[in-house]
A = this chain, B = another copy of it.
Amino acid sequence: MKVKPLADRVLIEPNPAEEKTAGGLFIPDTAKEKPLAGKVIAVGPGTSDVKMEVKVGDQVLYGKYAGTEITIDGKDLLIMKQGDILAII
């Protein structure tokens, strides 16, 4: 099934959990949450305010609580606004 995000939204396939904890043992010395990583699967057309900077195949970092989970063809994906993506890695 093909998913076409609207506006400035991006569809992301989260990396497997091993990569999520790539920073190794997490010692919570601050209240800050480490972001997660994933691969861009689909990109919306953008809006008059937001030009899309990510493209399909990019590895991106995003906050732990960013986006909405959707299940497409049995895969758990995330759909979020590009503004919730921190960086391309």
Contact = CB atoms under 8 A, between A and B. Distances in A.
Nearest to A5: B87
Interface residues of A, number: 41
| Dominant secondary structure at the A interface | loop
Contacts of A30: 69
Contact of A70 (B35, B44, B53, B72): B35
Contact of A68 (B7, B35, B88): B35
B34 A71 contact: yes
A4 B88 contact: yes
Given A6-B85, A11-B87, 15 more contacts: A3-B61, A3-B89, A4-B89, A7-B83, A9-B86, A24-B74, A32-B69, A34-B69, A35-B70, A45-B53, A48-B51, A63-B68, A68-B86, A70-B86, A79-B86
